[in-house]
Amino acid sequence: MESNVKTAFYPGSFNPFTAGHQSIVDRALKLVDKIVIAIGTNPGKPNDNATERLQNIERLYAGNPRVKAIIYSGLTVEAAKETGATFILRGIRGVADYELERTLAETNLRISGMETLLMPALPELSMVSSSMVRELGHFGYDVTQFLPVKEK
Ligand code: ADP
C-alpha cells in the first residue's frame, strides 16, 4: 500500500550518537516526515551496549514524535522495509565516507530497489566521529562539544 508519509531509515553503529549524527537527523527532518534511527547490531556480539545506545537516542528525541529509534540485526534494507521507510539516509564527511557509501548505496539499490540519500556533513562537524569520541573519552578528555544537545 502506498503511503504519503515519507520515512527515512538512518542506520549506523551510533557508538556513541554524536553531534554529527544529530545534525544529519535535524537537517533531514526538514525533508521527510519521519526518521527511524536504526542501531545495527551483530548477533555474534551479545554483550555490546546497544540497549544503552538506544536509550540515549530515545531520551534525546523524547519530545519529537517524528523520530523513532530501534535496534536491528540482519540486512539493512530488510529492516528498513519492515519499518515502512521509503529510503535510507546516510551522512558523508569526506571522500573516504563517499567511496564506502556509494558502494553501499549501489548494493542496496541493486538487491532491494531501495534508494539512499547521502547528506554532506556540516563543515564544522565533519571531523566528528564516534571512534574519535570514544578515544578522547578513554583518555579522560571532555567530549561534551562533540555530543548531541537535547532539544528544547
Ligand atoms: P557506521 O558504523 O555504519 O559507519 P556510524 O554510526 O559511524 O555508522 O555513522 C552512521 C552514519 O552517519 C554514516 O552514514 C556516517 O557516515 C554518518 N556520520 C557519522 N558522523 C558524521 C558526521 N560528523 N557528520 C555527518 N555524518 C556523519
pLDDT along the chain (152 residues), means of 10: 84 97 98 97 78 97 97 96 97 96 98 98 97 97 96 64
Q: In the prediction, which pLDDT does 65 show? A: 97
Tell me how far apart the alpha carbons of residues 64 and 26 are, in angstroms, rounded to a whole number: 11
Cite the DSSP H helix spans in 29-94: 50-60, 76-82
Q: How far apart are CA 97 and CA 6, in angstroms?
A: 25
pLDDT at 48: 80
What pLDDT was estimated at residue 90?
A: 98
Tell me how far the alpha carbon of residue 91 lies from the centroid of ligand 1, in angstroms: 6
- Contacts with 63 (C-beta within 8 Å, 6 or more apart), sequence order: 151
Rounded Cα–Cα distance for residues 37 and 55 (Å): 12
Ligand 1 centroid, distance to 82 Cα (angstroms) = 22
pTM of structure:
0.95
Q: What is the pLDDT of residue 47?
A: 63
C-alpha 133/C-alpha 15 separation (Å) is: 9
Specify whether 45 is catalytic: yes
130 is catalytic: yes
Q: How many angstroms separate the alpha carbon of residue 110 from the centre of ligand 1?
A: 22
pLDDT of residue 4: 86
Q: Whose CA is nearest to atom 2 of ligand 1?
A: 13
Predicted confidence at residue 130, as pLDDT, reads 96
Whether 121 and 26 have beta carbons less than 8 Å apart is answered as no
Is 93 annotated in the active site? Answer: yes
Is 91 touching ligand 1 by the criterion CB < 6 Å?
yes
